Amino acid sequence: MKNTNISVKKLQSYGFLLLAILLCGTAHAKVNHYVGGYAQIGEWSLLPSKSDYAGSVGAAGGVGFLYELQAGKKYRPTRFLMDLGVGAAGGMTAYMQSSSKVEKLENQHDLMNQLFDYVYDIRDRKDKYTNIAVNVPIMFGIQYKRFYALAGMKVYANIYTKSHSNANLTTYGDYVEFGEFRNMPEYQFFEDEKVSTATKTSFNLDLDLSVEIGGRLGNVLYDVGYDVPKSRIEYRLAAFMDYGLLDIHSKGTKSALKLPESYDINPESKNYIYRTRTMVDNLEMNDIMSTNGFASVVKNLVVGIKFTILFQLPEPGQCVICRDNYRSSVRTYTGSRRGMKYEE
Protein backbone atom coordinates (compact mmCIF):
# COMPACT_ATOMS: atom_id res chain seq x y z
CA MET A 1 0.00 0.00 0.00
CA LYS A 2 2.89 2.36 0.74
CA ASN A 3 4.33 1.93 -2.75
CA THR A 4 0.91 2.55 -4.26
CA ASN A 5 0.57 5.85 -2.40
CA ILE A 6 4.00 6.96 -3.59
CA SER A 7 3.18 6.17 -7.22
CA VAL A 8 -0.11 8.05 -7.01
CA LYS A 9 1.66 11.10 -5.57
CA LYS A 10 4.21 10.98 -8.38
CA LEU A 11 1.45 10.83 -10.98
CA GLN A 12 -0.25 13.82 -9.38
CA SER A 13 3.02 15.79 -9.45
CA TYR A 14 3.60 14.97 -13.11
CA GLY A 15 0.03 16.00 -13.89
CA PHE A 16 0.40 19.39 -12.20
CA LEU A 17 3.74 19.95 -13.96
CA LEU A 18 2.24 19.15 -17.34
CA LEU A 19 -0.69 21.46 -16.63
CA ALA A 20 1.67 24.31 -15.70
CA ILE A 21 3.71 23.81 -18.89
CA LEU A 22 0.56 23.82 -21.01
CA LEU A 23 -0.81 26.97 -19.39
CA CYS A 24 2.51 28.78 -19.86
CA GLY A 25 2.57 27.72 -23.49
CA THR A 26 -0.94 29.02 -24.13
CA ALA A 27 -0.05 32.50 -22.90
CA HIS A 28 1.33 33.42 -26.36
CA ALA A 29 -0.91 31.18 -28.49
CA LYS A 30 -4.29 31.27 -30.12
CA VAL A 31 -6.68 29.77 -27.57
CA ASN A 32 -10.18 28.41 -28.21
CA HIS A 33 -12.62 27.02 -25.68
CA TYR A 34 -15.13 24.22 -26.30
CA VAL A 35 -17.86 22.50 -24.33
CA GLY A 36 -19.65 19.32 -25.31
CA GLY A 37 -20.56 15.77 -24.50
CA TYR A 38 -19.66 12.21 -25.34
CA ALA A 39 -21.07 8.69 -25.44
CA GLN A 40 -19.02 5.50 -25.31
CA ILE A 41 -19.45 1.75 -25.37
CA GLY A 42 -16.95 -1.04 -24.85
CA GLU A 43 -15.82 -4.26 -23.20
CA TRP A 44 -15.41 -4.31 -19.41
CA SER A 45 -13.13 -6.72 -17.59
CA LEU A 46 -11.97 -7.18 -14.00
CA LEU A 47 -8.44 -8.60 -14.07
CA PRO A 48 -7.37 -10.68 -11.04
CA SER A 49 -3.73 -11.45 -10.29
CA LYS A 50 -2.50 -14.73 -8.82
CA SER A 51 -5.89 -16.31 -9.39
CA ASP A 52 -7.41 -19.34 -11.09
CA TYR A 53 -9.48 -16.88 -13.13
CA ALA A 54 -7.99 -15.26 -16.22
CA GLY A 55 -10.46 -12.38 -16.04
CA SER A 56 -14.08 -11.54 -16.57
CA VAL A 57 -15.88 -10.62 -19.79
CA GLY A 58 -18.63 -8.03 -20.12
CA ALA A 59 -19.89 -4.78 -21.60
CA ALA A 60 -20.08 -1.19 -20.40
CA GLY A 61 -21.30 2.17 -21.64
CA GLY A 62 -21.12 5.76 -20.49
CA VAL A 63 -21.99 9.39 -21.15
CA GLY A 64 -20.48 12.63 -19.95
CA PHE A 65 -19.87 16.34 -20.32
CA LEU A 66 -16.51 17.99 -20.95
CA TYR A 67 -14.68 21.26 -21.40
CA GLU A 68 -11.77 21.44 -23.82
CA LEU A 69 -9.07 24.05 -24.25
CA GLN A 70 -7.30 24.17 -27.64
CA ALA A 71 -4.13 26.22 -28.07
CA GLY A 72 -1.66 26.72 -30.89
CA LYS A 73 -0.18 29.16 -33.35
CA LYS A 74 -2.68 30.97 -35.56
CA TYR A 75 -3.64 29.24 -38.82
CA ARG A 76 -1.49 26.19 -38.01
CA PRO A 77 -3.02 22.69 -37.98
CA THR A 78 -1.26 21.58 -34.78
CA ARG A 79 -3.17 22.26 -31.55
CA PHE A 80 -2.50 21.34 -27.92
CA LEU A 81 -5.52 19.98 -26.04
CA MET A 82 -6.61 19.89 -22.41
CA ASP A 83 -9.87 18.17 -21.40
CA LEU A 84 -11.73 18.33 -18.09
CA GLY A 85 -15.13 16.77 -17.42
CA VAL A 86 -17.46 14.55 -15.49
CA GLY A 87 -19.06 11.31 -16.63
CA ALA A 88 -21.18 8.37 -15.60
CA ALA A 89 -20.62 4.75 -16.62
CA GLY A 90 -22.43 1.49 -16.07
CA GLY A 91 -21.78 -2.08 -17.08
CA MET A 92 -21.92 -5.79 -16.38
CA THR A 93 -19.08 -8.31 -16.37
CA ALA A 94 -18.95 -11.99 -15.42
CA TYR A 95 -16.52 -14.61 -14.17
CA MET A 96 -17.21 -18.18 -15.30
CA GLN A 97 -15.94 -21.36 -13.63
CA SER A 98 -16.63 -24.69 -15.33
CA SER A 99 -14.46 -26.86 -13.04
CA SER A 100 -15.78 -28.22 -9.76
CA LYS A 101 -15.31 -26.53 -6.41
CA VAL A 102 -15.81 -28.78 -3.36
CA GLU A 103 -16.66 -27.72 0.19
CA LYS A 104 -17.44 -30.04 3.11
CA LEU A 105 -19.14 -30.37 6.46
CA GLU A 106 -16.76 -32.85 8.06
CA ASN A 107 -17.44 -35.52 10.70
CA GLN A 108 -21.25 -35.56 10.48
CA HIS A 109 -23.61 -38.39 11.54
CA ASP A 110 -26.51 -39.76 9.50
CA LEU A 111 -29.78 -41.42 10.55
CA MET A 112 -27.93 -44.63 11.43
CA ASN A 113 -25.25 -42.72 13.33
CA GLN A 114 -22.69 -43.47 10.61
CA LEU A 115 -19.78 -41.02 10.38
CA PHE A 116 -19.40 -39.22 7.03
CA ASP A 117 -18.51 -35.91 5.35
CA TYR A 118 -21.40 -34.04 3.77
CA VAL A 119 -19.98 -32.71 0.47
CA TYR A 120 -21.11 -29.76 -1.64
CA ASP A 121 -19.85 -29.98 -5.23
CA ILE A 122 -20.32 -26.72 -7.20
CA ARG A 123 -19.74 -26.50 -10.95
CA ASP A 124 -20.66 -24.27 -13.90
CA ARG A 125 -20.57 -21.29 -11.59
CA LYS A 126 -21.11 -17.80 -13.03
CA ASP A 127 -20.69 -14.54 -11.09
CA LYS A 128 -22.01 -11.38 -12.76
CA TYR A 129 -21.15 -7.94 -11.44
CA THR A 130 -23.31 -4.92 -12.19
CA ASN A 131 -21.66 -1.59 -11.50
CA ILE A 132 -22.48 2.12 -11.81
CA ALA A 133 -19.73 4.70 -11.36
CA VAL A 134 -19.01 8.39 -11.81
CA ASN A 135 -15.64 9.59 -13.08
CA VAL A 136 -13.70 12.83 -13.36
CA PRO A 137 -11.13 12.90 -16.19
CA ILE A 138 -8.19 15.23 -16.76
CA MET A 139 -6.59 14.65 -20.15
CA PHE A 140 -3.82 16.27 -22.23
CA GLY A 141 -3.05 15.75 -25.87
CA ILE A 142 -2.39 17.00 -29.37
CA GLN A 143 -4.46 17.55 -32.50
CA TYR A 144 -3.00 17.57 -36.01
CA LYS A 145 -5.37 18.07 -38.93
CA ARG A 146 -7.89 15.22 -38.55
CA PHE A 147 -5.86 13.18 -36.06
CA TYR A 148 -5.92 13.68 -32.29
CA ALA A 149 -4.69 11.83 -29.22
CA LEU A 150 -5.31 12.32 -25.49
CA ALA A 151 -3.81 10.73 -22.39
CA GLY A 152 -4.37 11.34 -18.71
CA MET A 153 -6.08 10.11 -15.57
CA LYS A 154 -9.65 9.38 -14.52
CA VAL A 155 -10.83 9.11 -10.92
CA TYR A 156 -13.60 6.50 -10.65
CA ALA A 157 -16.01 6.46 -7.72
CA ASN A 158 -18.19 3.34 -7.77
CA ILE A 159 -21.59 4.26 -6.36
CA TYR A 160 -23.55 1.02 -6.87
CA THR A 161 -22.30 -2.56 -7.24
CA LYS A 162 -24.24 -5.82 -7.10
CA SER A 163 -23.20 -9.43 -7.68
CA HIS A 164 -25.41 -12.17 -9.12
CA SER A 165 -24.14 -15.73 -8.60
CA ASN A 166 -25.60 -18.98 -9.93
CA ALA A 167 -24.30 -22.55 -10.20
CA ASN A 168 -25.18 -26.23 -10.35
CA LEU A 169 -24.94 -28.01 -7.01
CA THR A 170 -24.57 -31.70 -6.22
CA THR A 171 -24.50 -33.00 -2.63
CA TYR A 172 -23.39 -36.43 -1.47
CA GLY A 173 -22.06 -38.31 1.54
CA ASP A 174 -18.47 -39.44 1.73
CA TYR A 175 -18.52 -42.23 4.33
CA VAL A 176 -15.48 -43.37 6.24
CA GLU A 177 -16.44 -47.04 5.90
CA PHE A 178 -18.56 -47.22 2.73
CA GLY A 179 -17.32 -44.52 0.36
CA GLU A 180 -19.60 -42.14 -1.55
CA PHE A 181 -23.40 -42.27 -1.38
CA ARG A 182 -25.23 -40.21 -4.07
CA ASN A 183 -28.72 -39.32 -5.24
CA MET A 184 -30.51 -40.27 -2.03
CA PRO A 185 -33.10 -37.55 -1.23
CA GLU A 186 -33.96 -39.18 2.08
CA TYR A 187 -30.43 -38.33 3.18
CA GLN A 188 -30.50 -34.97 1.35
CA PHE A 189 -28.08 -36.17 -1.31
CA PHE A 190 -29.23 -34.38 -4.50
CA GLU A 191 -28.01 -34.14 -8.10
CA ASP A 192 -27.76 -30.95 -10.17
CA GLU A 193 -29.67 -28.53 -7.99
CA LYS A 194 -29.81 -24.91 -9.16
CA VAL A 195 -28.61 -22.34 -6.64
CA SER A 196 -28.42 -18.57 -7.03
CA THR A 197 -27.72 -15.51 -4.90
CA ALA A 198 -27.87 -11.74 -5.41
CA THR A 199 -25.73 -9.66 -3.06
CA LYS A 200 -25.02 -5.96 -2.84
CA THR A 201 -21.27 -5.39 -2.63
CA SER A 202 -18.84 -2.52 -3.22
CA PHE A 203 -15.70 -1.56 -5.15
CA ASN A 204 -12.95 0.70 -3.90
CA LEU A 205 -12.12 4.13 -5.33
CA ASP A 206 -10.09 3.68 -8.51
CA LEU A 207 -7.53 5.74 -10.45
CA ASP A 208 -7.42 4.83 -14.14
CA LEU A 209 -4.80 5.58 -16.77
CA SER A 210 -6.80 6.69 -19.83
CA VAL A 211 -5.74 6.86 -23.49
CA GLU A 212 -7.89 8.06 -26.40
CA ILE A 213 -6.84 8.05 -30.09
CA GLY A 214 -9.06 9.02 -32.99
CA GLY A 215 -9.99 11.52 -35.65
CA ARG A 216 -12.31 14.40 -36.44
CA LEU A 217 -15.28 13.73 -38.72
CA GLY A 218 -16.86 15.84 -41.44
CA ASN A 219 -15.33 18.84 -43.21
CA VAL A 220 -12.20 19.99 -41.41
CA LEU A 221 -10.59 23.35 -42.31
CA TYR A 222 -7.01 24.21 -41.40
CA ASP A 223 -4.17 26.33 -42.81
CA VAL A 224 -6.65 29.04 -43.74
CA GLY A 225 -6.82 32.80 -43.30
CA TYR A 226 -8.79 34.59 -40.65
CA ASP A 227 -11.53 35.59 -43.14
CA VAL A 228 -12.46 32.02 -44.15
CA PRO A 229 -15.57 30.77 -42.31
CA LYS A 230 -14.87 27.86 -39.99
CA SER A 231 -17.25 25.39 -38.36
CA ARG A 232 -17.77 25.96 -34.65
CA ILE A 233 -18.82 22.34 -34.09
CA GLU A 234 -16.42 19.38 -34.00
CA TYR A 235 -17.30 15.68 -34.22
CA ARG A 236 -14.87 12.99 -33.13
CA LEU A 237 -14.69 9.22 -33.20
CA ALA A 238 -11.99 7.41 -31.23
CA ALA A 239 -10.82 4.21 -29.62
CA PHE A 240 -10.14 4.45 -25.88
CA MET A 241 -8.75 2.44 -22.97
CA ASP A 242 -9.15 2.92 -19.22
CA TYR A 243 -6.82 0.78 -17.10
CA GLY A 244 -7.06 0.78 -13.32
CA LEU A 245 -3.90 1.38 -11.30
CA LEU A 246 -5.41 0.49 -7.91
CA ASP A 247 -6.90 -2.65 -6.38
CA ILE A 248 -10.68 -2.18 -6.50
CA HIS A 249 -11.77 -5.24 -4.52
CA SER A 250 -11.62 -5.90 -0.80
CA LYS A 251 -9.74 -9.09 -0.08
CA GLY A 252 -12.08 -11.62 1.52
CA THR A 253 -11.76 -14.74 3.66
CA LYS A 254 -15.25 -16.12 3.06
CA SER A 255 -16.07 -19.57 1.72
CA ALA A 256 -17.71 -20.00 -1.68
CA LEU A 257 -20.94 -21.20 0.00
CA LYS A 258 -22.66 -19.98 3.14
CA LEU A 259 -22.72 -23.42 4.72
CA PRO A 260 -25.04 -24.43 7.56
CA GLU A 261 -23.44 -25.23 10.88
CA SER A 262 -24.10 -28.95 10.67
CA TYR A 263 -25.93 -31.73 8.81
CA ASP A 264 -29.65 -31.07 9.41
CA ILE A 265 -32.31 -33.70 8.82
CA ASN A 266 -35.53 -34.46 10.68
CA PRO A 267 -36.53 -38.14 10.37
CA GLU A 268 -39.48 -37.65 12.74
CA SER A 269 -41.27 -35.41 10.20
CA LYS A 270 -44.00 -37.17 8.20
CA ASN A 271 -42.84 -37.91 4.62
CA TYR A 272 -39.45 -36.41 5.49
CA ILE A 273 -37.99 -37.88 2.27
CA TYR A 274 -39.88 -35.28 0.25
CA ARG A 275 -40.19 -32.49 2.76
CA THR A 276 -36.74 -31.99 4.19
CA ARG A 277 -34.35 -30.13 1.88
CA THR A 278 -32.72 -27.94 4.48
CA MET A 279 -29.21 -28.63 3.17
CA VAL A 280 -29.89 -27.17 -0.29
CA ASP A 281 -33.00 -25.00 -0.15
CA ASN A 282 -32.18 -21.31 0.29
CA LEU A 283 -28.47 -22.08 0.23
CA GLU A 284 -26.59 -18.87 -0.56
CA MET A 285 -23.22 -18.16 -2.18
CA ASN A 286 -20.72 -15.44 -1.39
CA ASP A 287 -19.65 -13.38 -4.39
CA ILE A 288 -16.49 -14.84 -5.85
CA MET A 289 -14.27 -11.80 -5.26
CA SER A 290 -14.96 -11.89 -1.52
CA THR A 291 -13.92 -15.54 -1.15
CA ASN A 292 -10.64 -16.75 0.31
CA GLY A 293 -7.80 -17.14 -2.14
CA PHE A 294 -9.60 -15.56 -5.11
CA ALA A 295 -6.97 -12.92 -5.97
CA SER A 296 -4.42 -10.68 -4.34
CA VAL A 297 -5.32 -7.73 -6.61
CA VAL A 298 -8.20 -7.02 -9.00
CA LYS A 299 -7.82 -4.23 -11.57
CA ASN A 300 -10.29 -2.52 -13.86
CA LEU A 301 -10.06 -2.51 -17.68
CA VAL A 302 -12.43 -0.90 -20.19
CA VAL A 303 -11.72 -0.69 -23.94
CA GLY A 304 -14.09 0.57 -26.61
CA ILE A 305 -15.14 3.34 -28.96
CA LYS A 306 -16.15 6.89 -28.09
CA PHE A 307 -18.11 9.57 -29.97
CA THR A 308 -17.63 13.23 -28.96
CA ILE A 309 -19.32 16.45 -30.05
CA LEU A 310 -17.81 19.85 -29.16
CA PHE A 311 -19.23 23.36 -29.50
CA GLN A 312 -16.82 26.29 -29.68
CA LEU A 313 -17.59 29.07 -27.24
CA PRO A 314 -17.90 32.63 -28.62
CA GLU A 315 -14.68 34.61 -28.77
CA PRO A 316 -14.06 38.40 -29.04
CA GLY A 317 -14.44 39.75 -32.59
CA GLN A 318 -11.65 41.32 -34.59
CA CYS A 319 -11.08 44.96 -33.59
CA VAL A 320 -10.82 47.63 -36.30
CA ILE A 321 -9.06 50.28 -34.20
CA CYS A 322 -7.28 48.61 -31.34
CA ARG A 323 -6.05 51.62 -29.36
CA ASP A 324 -7.56 51.79 -25.89
CA ASN A 325 -10.21 54.45 -25.11
CA TYR A 326 -10.33 55.67 -28.72
CA ARG A 327 -13.12 58.14 -29.45
CA SER A 328 -13.35 60.29 -32.58
CA SER A 329 -14.97 63.06 -30.57
CA VAL A 330 -11.89 63.35 -28.42
CA ARG A 331 -9.68 64.38 -31.33
CA THR A 332 -8.75 68.13 -31.16
CA TYR A 333 -7.46 70.50 -33.82
CA THR A 334 -4.19 72.32 -33.37
CA GLY A 335 -2.00 74.40 -35.68
CA SER A 336 -2.73 76.38 -38.81
CA ARG A 337 -5.10 75.37 -41.57
CA ARG A 338 -2.23 74.75 -43.99
CA GLY A 339 -0.45 72.38 -41.61
CA MET A 340 -3.40 70.63 -39.98
CA LYS A 341 -2.61 68.42 -37.03
CA TYR A 342 -4.90 66.21 -35.02
CA GLU A 343 -4.02 64.81 -31.66
CA GLU A 344 -5.88 62.75 -29.11
- Residue 244 Cα distances to 25, 54, 86, 154, angstroms: 30, 16, 17, 9
Q: What does the mean pLDDT of the chain come to?
A: 82
Residues 34/312, Cβ–Cβ less than 8 Å: yes
Backbone torsions φ then ψ of 20, nearest 5 degrees = -65, -45
pLDDT digits (tens, 9 = 90+) for 54-92: 789 999 999 999 999 998 887 678 889 999 999 999 999
Given a contact cutoff of 8 angstroms between Cβ atoms, the answer to whether 134 and 86 are in contact is yes
Least confident of 4-8, 49-53, 135-139, 232-236: 4-8
Element (H, E) at 139: strand 115-144
Question: Residue 264: its pLDDT value, please?
Answer: 81
Q: Rounded to the nearest 10 degrees, how much is the dihedral formed by the CA atoms of 214, 218, 222, 224?
A: -170
Cα distance between residue 78 and residue 94, in whole Å: 43
Q: Region 274-286: what's the mean pLDDT? A: 83
Total domains in the chain come to 1
**What pLDDT is recorded for position 282?**
84
How far is Cα 289 from Cα 297, in angstroms, rounded to an integer?
Answer: 10
CA angle at 261 for the pair 259 and 263, rounded to the nearest 5°:
90
Residue numbers of the domain that contains 48: 2-343
